[in-house]
Amino acid sequence: MKIFLTGFITLVLSLPVYAAVEEVNIYSARKEQLIKPILDRFEKQSGIKVNLITGKADALLKRIETEGTNTPADILITTDAGRLHRAKTAMVLQPAITPDIEKIVPSNLQDPDHYWIGLTTRSRIIVYAKDRVKPSELSTYEALSDPKWKKRLCIRSSNNIYNQSLVASMIVHKGEQSTEDWAKGLVKNFARKPKGGDRDQIKAVAAGQCDIAVVNTYYLAQMLNGKDSTQKKAAEQVAVFWPNQNDRGAHINISGIAITKASKNKENALKLIRYLLSPEAQTWYAEANNEYPVIKEATLSKTLKSWGQFHSDSLNLKELGEYNSQAVRIMDRAGWR
């Protein structure tokens, strides 16, 4: 018996010892090419293996809900504060954003309850046909309901979260009735039934189907800097106008990050968040994706610099999620489809 035990112990001690692999698992609504390069940098610098799954924002949230405590996801990266609010209310996140991280980012770009924080910002702006519209004709989001723009405006459908968040911000600033009146006027000015994404609205302006459109800044920047010559040509025919510069400022939103409730690698997740908020990562976001950094130390891309500085709305973005359902109801009543 002693000989057997001694042999067994010797065998066990002779087996190779494998260290546990440090890792972090990400579910990202950002397309792989828009995030993987910076994750690769983090992996190389930290030694923490990054496992990335990309997909549609709503589908990823549903997946985390379905997987429950068995989800491998440590981190959710998604676009729009409205979607981050949905994840929070679905109770799949944890209030894990630490004070040292929160002090890096402006307070209006993070959840007051520590569930999520912004990584980059973008503004929902007005673009106009250079040959048909003078910038002096434009002023505010509210003025887009003016009858002078009848059959001249292109915008995405009401099921688009970016438009829902814009309307939610209007509710906070102007109240529900005023926002509904504005939405009804806006719908009367549609040049066509809403269809397609933001790039399609820009192409429609270039094609003369409308004179102005409401789009996110990074879509225009991506068209200007992309390899598609047709898209670039269309983007070059429009110019940027920053709305509401004399009052509350242009509407902004974020791409944001949160740690899942079931995370098994929380400390690694926090390390990644700190890295993504570093000057190196923030500058990469600006140069590669043409999104605005959330820290002052980062450098803007040439395209973002060319658009100049602008005054942005300081509304806490949590309210975009909190007023989402009211926004959708208003858009439905206004006939915004």
Mean pLDDT of 11-38: 76
Residue among 109, 179, 194, 177 at smallest CA distance from 141: 179
Detail the DSSP E strand segments found in the chain. Answer: 23-28, 49-54, 75-79, 116-129, 153-154, 212-216, 238-241, 252-259, 292-293
Distance CA 69, CA 92 (A): 9
Average pLDDT over residues 97-107: 98
b/e per residue, 55-79, with b = 16+ CB within 10 A?
A: eebeebbebbeeeeeebbbbbbbbb
Confidence at residue 33, expressed as pLDDT on a 0 to 100 scale: 87
* Confidence bin at 9 (pLDDT 50/70/90): very low
- Does residue 125 contact residue 243 with C-beta atoms inside 8 Å? yes
What mean pLDDT do residues 262-267 have? 98
**Is the per-residue pLDDT at 10 higher than 60?**
no
Do the domains 123-251+319-333 and 14-121+253-300 match in fold?
Answer: yes
Exposed, middle or buried by CB within 10 Å (0-12, 13-18, 19+), for 38? buried
Instruction: Please tell me the predicted confidence (pLDDT) of residue 20.
Output: 54
CATH assignment, 123-251+319-333: 3.40.190.10
At CA 282, angle to CA 281 and CA 284, rounded to 5? 65
Task: Assess whether pLDDT exceeds 60 at residue 134.
Answer: yes
Please tell me the predicted confidence (pLDDT) of residue 35. 94
Q: What is the mean pLDDT of residues 215-230?
A: 96
Phi/psi zone of residue 331: left (φ > 0), alpha (ψ -120 to 50 degrees), beta? Answer: alpha
Q: Taking the domains of the chain in order of start, what are their residue ranges?
A: 14-121+253-300, 123-251+319-333
Comparing 193 with 10, which gets the higher pLDDT? 193
pTM of the model: 0.92
- pLDDT tens-digit readout, 158-207: 999 999 999 999 999 999 999 999 999 999 999 999 999 999 999 999 99
286-310 pLDDT per residue, tens: 999 999 999 999 999 999 999 999 9
Q: What burial letters (b/e) apply to 327-337, b meaning 16+ CB within 10 Å?
A: bbebbeebebe
| Mean pLDDT for all residues in the chain | 94
Q: What is the pLDDT of residue 15?
A: 43
Q: Are residues 239 and 127 in contact, defined by beta-carbon separation less than 8 angstroms? A: yes
Give the pLDDT band (50/70/90) at residue 312.
very high
Task: Please report the pLDDT score of residue 220 as a whole number.
Answer: 98
pLDDT of 19 > 80? The answer is: no
Residue 226, number of CB atoms within 10 A of its CB:
13
CATH no. for 14-121+253-300: 3.40.190.10
In the predicted structure, residue 7 carries a pLDDT above the cut 70: no
What is the torsional sign of CA 98, 61, 175, 162?
positive
Q: Do 231 and 203 meet the contact criterion of CB atoms below 8 Å apart?
A: yes
User: How confident is the model at residue 265, as a pLDDT?
Assistant: 98
